[in-house]
Structure 1
């Protein structure tokens, strides 16, 4: 076996890994975090979904078919 091969640890990578492992202990809700969750966790998925539904409805309209029913549509 290969012996005597010591690993040189990078201090910055070790600090970053430690911060990631303890993220749930150090996280705080701030206005910025709430805004980011609102934008990327709620608004962007809703806008993407609406865009996809709109695209399908335009295809149905062009083909002369009735609109398909999706989640949340009446």
Structure 2
């Protein structure tokens, strides 16, 4: 391992992680260096809209939309 070997960690035969020697440039680091990727500068935005306030059950709301 000290010679710079790379190890792939698997879960039931499916690769889930990779252990690489310290100092080796990751794929992301390479893309950043090449200017193909930039890291975000602000806080992460939610992918989901704010919840809608509603009265009644979901079933009632669906029933009302089908009329």
Q: Same fold (TM over 0.5)?
A: no
Q: TM-score w.r.t. structure 1 length? A: 0.20
Higher helix share: 1
Q: TM-score w.r.t. structure 2 length? A: 0.22
